[in-house]
Structure 1
Amino acid sequence: MELPTRQISLSFLLVISTLLFSSASNSDEFVQCLTKLSKESAPTVSKLIFTPKNSSYNAALLYSINNLRFTRPTTPKPRVIITPTTESQVQSVIYCAKKTNLEIRIRSGGHSFEGLSYVSYVPFVILDLRNFNQVTPDLRSATAWVGGGVTNGELYYRISQATSDYGFPSGLWGNVGVGGLISGGGYGMMRRKYGLSADQVIDAKLIDVHGKILDRKAMGEDLFWAIRGSGGGSFGVVIAWKVNLVRVPRTVTVFRVYRSLAQNMTNIFYKWQSVAPRFPKELDIRCNGQIFLSENSTRPDKKIMVMNFESLYLGRVDSLLKVMKQQFPELGLVREDCFEVSWIQAMVFFTNLPLETPPEVLLNRTILNRIDFKGRSDFTTKPIPIKGLEGIWDFMFQLPNGTAFLQFTPFGGRMSEIPDTALPFPYRAGYLYMINLYALTDEDEANRLQWVRNIDDYLAPYVTSNPRSAYVNYANLWMGTNNPRGKTSYAQASKWGKRYFKNNFDRLVRIKSKADPDNFFRHEQSIPPISLSLWSDM
């Protein structure tokens, strides 16, 4: 069996086969343990537990798997899926998983690039937080408590129902889980004004390895620092976040314009690299590159390379056009390209839905298409030269239209004002933009995975190095993994850990070593504990 995203040896597969064969009794014991501990009636509890014996098991599993690469028959499946509704039920899941030697995968929105919230190669259960979906705004303090299973869309909609004066700087896609997003830092179209999603978190409710419910004061500042950017699944189960709401104008402006190579796209993008991080904080213009087919193409294959420039401006169109004329006239933006809307309608727009769609659509957790893909990320500190950009476009032409995607996310503004040690996320001052690329792998998988490797190699001279940077919310197991069982050395984990967190990785390891020394909360790229006695030798 070939597993291209997880490098697993034959001997390891034999061990896993043995574990899976003997885990049926573990899962039965686990369910019995949960039922025994539950304060609710058995029929009530049974509605929250799904095993392969249940007819609704597959629906519960597939409900929020958003990378279809992990829905294949060869993908390991959980022994049990639990969808708790109360804190005590989460505590019971932790206790029973420890007792029966089953690993926990914690799922919020199910958007992990590598399926880390719902796949494991050792016997495991999924703790699905979908029922922790309450949003409680407090306009007197301009804060809100947000459940660990809430989606961006639910958060945006609930805020908009309470006020038109506040929003939250979370992600673009409405069905992405806020819990996983904040756990990795989280960014959206207001990061240049307000920073990361995690920058606005002021408290949390974490259930730790001992089943204790800890708020910020109880967990301490080190652990509170760690859970806001280290990636999910390392320190416990965050069942709620308390966040600052941020001011938004009653009217904002959005646009989405397309430029092809024939329309001077390369030179426009080259200029964008330098000006986008220096725009006023209220303006964000991100770019998306893709191959289309066009009868107007001069190529035999009729392909064209197109860059989509899409923007949120926290202000009205007249002010935006002045900024663009002064700082980025190359784009050729005109009033007809722009739309003045409410902030909540802009969030519909950035979920890639028609602008006039009623905002209630954001409550639909499964509205967006799911794809089968492999992705990876990089950061830049200097513009890529024209020749380098042309090489990237050449790679895009190698795959069929609509199967490879480039995303460029500019930084600057508030992002440059926050110290790189403020959270585990270290990419602040000096970084121009983040690159995210991915390829659809539903067909011709081997060649498309190789394409990702090839373009990854090509980008090396143009992105950060020593270490080459990556974003933890765009997990990439090709960078390295932990051992599935037993201990993982600091040196082994550093191969991926330093790329995500730079020097902040060391602090994360120290915190993990105190908070969860036996490494109960773990996955392929979770923060590993290191014996405290070894720190003096490092």
Structure 2
Amino acid sequence: MAMLRRLALAFFLSCFSCSVPSLASSDDFLQCLAKKIPSELVYKQSSSDFTDVLVSSIRFPNFFTNTTVRPLCIVTPTDAGHVQAAVLCGRRNGVRLRVRSGGHDYEGLSYRSVRPEVFGVVDLAKLRSISVNESESTAWVNSGATIGELYYAIGKNNSELAFPAGECPTLGVGGHFSGGGVGMLMRKYGLSSDNVVDAKLVNAKGELLDRAGMGEDHFWAIRGGGGQSFGIVLSWKIQLLHVPPTVAVFSISKTLDQGAVDIVTRWQVVGPSLPDDLTMRVKVQGQEAMFLAVYLGTCSSLVATMGREFPELNMTSADCRSMTYLESTALSFTTLANIGTPEEVLLNRTSGLDISVEGKSDYVRRPISRAAWNDIFSWFKKNGSGLIMLEPHGGFIGSVPNATTPYPHRDGVLYVIQYLVFWPGANGAAPQTWLHDFYDFMGQHVTADPREAYVNFRDLDIGQNAVVDDVSTFESGQVWGERYFMGNFRRLAEVKAQVDPTDYFRNEQTTPPLLHRRN
């Protein structure tokens, strides 16, 4: 507790010692951009389209309020040179940049600041090209593309090629890959970041580098070390992977009266140990659990496997549907009632500002008891809008050494929990209180020392950087960093010290540089 109080005091004092650009330097920054980037690609706060561009990728309207610190301007580059110019102008005039691809950061840190500061946003939405090389089974994808667009481009090029990534089609490639990339193929092929073979980024000096130019330590850090810490990644070369011409999917709901508690309790052991061709996640909401699966095989084989491995679910051939992998991604694995959804839905980038969301995460390494699951289900009687998603690990992802990439939650992990709560509009005091109380309750059932968390489900409640002498402190970063990255956090901080020692790429939860003077 004494350590936490010292860190809290350091954070409080840092709010008064941070370097804030003057009005003159802000003007100089905008003038610098005007000289180097076409005016139609830069939106100042005074621009008539500024709000529309800002809102274009805001997924959580609770961050679109008067209390949110908004950017000085938004740069929408169409080539690498524009990004380099923005970095050089920012460095020269003391204005930091935040980077947005899909806008799914759970804390909105890609386009807003929690603390008073002057900053610009580089919005990569116009950098979204995808080039598939079928002969090499590779693709180059720009960070501004969405996961849905990537799935569509791959599947339309060759229905027997795929890429392991998330279920939400509007996720931006840049942020998703930067944090790891959990998804329905990870038990077979690993995370998104496990399958990145090259990248192009603009570093803190404004240089454009590929894998060879940045070096292996830097390349290691960007593949799971969290967005915005190590530069602006413009594009990724990914290894595409083979799937059969058709896959089998099912979604089966079980209520409490149908034995949901017993089946979820059993799933904790079965889900991570199934053949790696089969991934079955669970959504718990209200008084039921929905089991959602994709299998790289036929329905007949899936029925046999489920009968052998998980008879408690009572899955039959009537529950199964066969389709291409691309068609399965268009369903988003929520319900088979949406079969027939056109694949073009994956290309939809729009979202409304009518529903707000807050999320948290946990990892489970020991099965939660049946009695505890009874208690967990009782929480959902208190709030019908809350839910949890259970994503199984095991398979290939569990066989990869923890230090291979910054994502460390591998060996021994049964599953990751994503907690979500929804509410209309921006005022969500009651559902947010429910979420925080439920998360506190779950602490006794999940990992501890540290209580692990997934960086792509960013959560400022677990800690924020303190800034001293205009650099984030390593000690404050450890509080949250070791929960996201565990034993890999120190190496990330060492890489940060090599590639960005002045902490130019910074937000409230970017990796701080491990400088010798802080040891």
TM over 0.5: yes
Structure-2 change in CA distance of 1:15 and 1:63 (3 Å): farther
Instruction: Give 1:55 deviation, angstroms.
Output: 1.4
1:358 aligns with one of 333, 342, 345:
342
Amino acid at match of 2:379: F
**Take 2:25 and 2:294, find their aligned partners in 1: how far apart are those partners?**
51
Instruction: Give 1:487 deviation, angstroms.
Output: 2.9
Instruction: Give 1:530 deviation, angstroms.
Output: 2.2
Match of 1:217 in 2: 212
**Take 1:393 and 1:444, find their aligned partners in 2: how far apart are those partners?**
25
Structure-2 change in CA distance of 1:333 and 1:370 (3 Å): farther
Query: Is 1:91 the counterpart of 2:84 in the alignment?
Result: yes
Amino acid at match of 1:407: M
Query: Is 1:288 the counterpart of 2:283 in the alignment?
Result: yes
1:160 aligns with one of 155, 162, 166:
155
**Take 2:104 and 2:97, find their aligned partners in 1: how far apart are those partners?**
17
Residues 105-152 of structure 1: CA deviation (Å, up to 9, x unaligned): 100100001111111131111100111101111111110001011100
Match of 2:200 in 1: 205
**Take 2:85 and 2:32, find their aligned partners in 1: how far apart are those partners?**
8
**Take 1:444 and 1:65, find their aligned partners in 2: how far apart are those partners?**
16
Match of 2:234 in 1: 239
**Take 2:278 and 2:454, find their aligned partners in 1: how far apart are those partners?**
23
**Take 2:460 and 2:276, find their aligned partners in 1: how far apart are those partners?**
34
Q: Please tell me whether the aligned partners of residues 513 and 529 of structure 1 are also in contact (alpha carbons under 8 angstroms).
A: yes
CA RMSD of aligned residues (A): 2.1
Task: Report the number of matched residues.
Answer: 505
Match of 2:3 in 1: none
Instruction: Give 1:84 deviation, angstroms.
Output: 0.2
- Larger deviation, residues 367-376 vs 129-138: 367-376
Query: Is 1:405 the counterpart of 2:387 in the alignment?
Result: yes
SS at structure 2 position matched to 1:372: strand
Structure-2 change in CA distance of 1:368 and 1:348 (3 Å): farther
**Take 2:354 and 2:239, find their aligned partners in 1: how far apart are those partners?**
31
Structure-2 change in CA distance of 1:351 and 1:50 (3 Å): farther
**Take 2:59 and 2:394, find their aligned partners in 1: how far apart are those partners?**
30
Match of 1:148 in 2: 143
Q: Please tell me whether the aligned partners of residues 107 and 126 of structure 1 are also in contact (alpha carbons under 8 angstroms).
A: yes
**Take 2:407 and 2:52, find their aligned partners in 1: how far apart are those partners?**
35
SS at structure 2 position matched to 1:503: helix
Instruction: Give 1:355 deviation, angstroms.
Output: 2.3
SS at structure 1 position matched to 2:355: coil
Match of 2:44 in 1: 51
Structure-2 change in CA distance of 1:261 and 1:171 (3 Å): same
Gaps in structure 2 of 5+ consecutive residues: 1-7
**Take 2:395 and 2:513, find their aligned partners in 1: how far apart are those partners?**
35
**Take 1:243 and 1:10, find their aligned partners in 2: how far apart are those partners?**
42
**Which residues of 2 match residues 413-428 of structure 1 at below 5 A?**
413-428=395-410
Match of 1:4 in 2: none
**Take 1:440 and 1:484, find their aligned partners in 2: how far apart are those partners?**
33
Match of 1:331 in 2: 313
Match of 2:34 in 1: 35
Query: Is 1:70 the counterpart of 2:63 in the alignment?
Result: yes
Instruction: Give 1:73 deviation, angstroms.
Output: 2.1
Match of 2:130 in 1: 135
Q: Please tell me whether the aligned partners of residues 61 and 353 of structure 2 are also in contact (alpha carbons under 8 angstroms).
A: no
Match of 1:80 in 2: 73
Structure-2 change in CA distance of 1:273 and 1:493 (3 Å): same
Match of 1:295 in 2: none
- Larger deviation, residues 271-280 vs 476-485: 476-485
1:310 aligns with one of 292, 297, 307:
292
**Take 2:332 and 2:292, find their aligned partners in 1: how far apart are those partners?**
9
Match of 1:117 in 2: 110
2:185 aligns with one of 165, 190, 215:
190
**Take 1:351 and 1:91, find their aligned partners in 2: how far apart are those partners?**
39
1:379 aligns with one of 363, 368, 372:
363
Query: Is 1:104 the counterpart of 2:97 in the alignment?
Result: yes
Match of 2:170 in 1: 175
Match of 1:294 in 2: none
Amino acid at match of 1:116: L
**Take 1:336 and 1:67, find their aligned partners in 2: how far apart are those partners?**
38
Instruction: Give 1:28 deviation, angstroms.
Output: 3.2
2:243 aligns with one of 248, 255, 278:
248
Query: Is 1:480 the counterpart of 2:459 in the alignment?
Result: no
Structure-2 change in CA distance of 1:198 and 1:63 (3 Å): same
Residues 144-170 of structure 1: CA deviation (Å, up to 9, x unaligned): 001011100110111112111101001
Match of 1:531 in 2: 515
SS at structure 1 position matched to 2:455: coil
Amino acid at match of 2:104: H
Structure-2 change in CA distance of 1:407 and 1:279 (3 Å): same
- Larger deviation, residues 524-533 vs 182-191: 524-533
Overall identity of the aligned pairs, in % = 38
**Which residues of 2 match residues 436-447 of structure 1 at below 5 A?**
436-442=418-424, 445-447=428-430
Instruction: Give 1:501 deviation, angstroms.
Output: 0.5
SS at structure 2 position matched to 1:312: strand
Instruction: Give 1:493 deviation, angstroms.
Output: 1.1
Q: Please tell me whether the aligned partners of residues 151 and 175 of structure 1 are also in contact (alpha carbons under 8 angstroms).
A: yes
Q: Please tell me whether the aligned partners of residues 288 and 309 of structure 1 are also in contact (alpha carbons under 8 angstroms).
A: yes
Match of 1:3 in 2: none
Match of 1:298 in 2: none
Residues 76-124 of structure 1: CA deviation (Å, up to 9, x unaligned): 1111001000111000000111122222110010000111111113111
Amino acid at match of 1:387: A
1:508 aligns with one of 492, 508, 511:
492
**Take 1:12 and 1:199, find their aligned partners in 2: how far apart are those partners?**
37
Q: Please tell me whether the aligned partners of residues 66 and 370 of structure 1 are also in contact (alpha carbons under 8 angstroms).
A: no
Structure-2 change in CA distance of 1:29 and 1:10 (3 Å): same
Instruction: Give 1:328 deviation, angstroms.
Output: 0.6
Match of 1:449 in 2: 432
Instruction: Give 1:19 deviation, angstroms.
Output: 5.2
Instruction: Give 1:449 deviation, angstroms.
Output: 2.6
TM-score, normalized by length of structure 1?
0.90
Instruction: Give 1:351 deviation, angstroms.
Output: 6.6
Amino acid at match of 2:491: R
Residues 421-447 of structure 1: CA deviation (Å, up to 9, x unaligned): 100000111110001112225476333
- Larger deviation, residues 424-433 vs 370-379: 370-379
Amino acid at match of 1:473: N
**Take 1:447 and 1:50, find their aligned partners in 2: how far apart are those partners?**
36
Gaps in structure 1 of 5+ consecutive residues: 1-6, 39-44, 292-304
Instruction: Give 1:533 deviation, angstroms.
Output: 5.0
Q: Please tell me whether the aligned partners of residues 253 and 312 of structure 1 are also in contact (alpha carbons under 8 angstroms).
A: yes
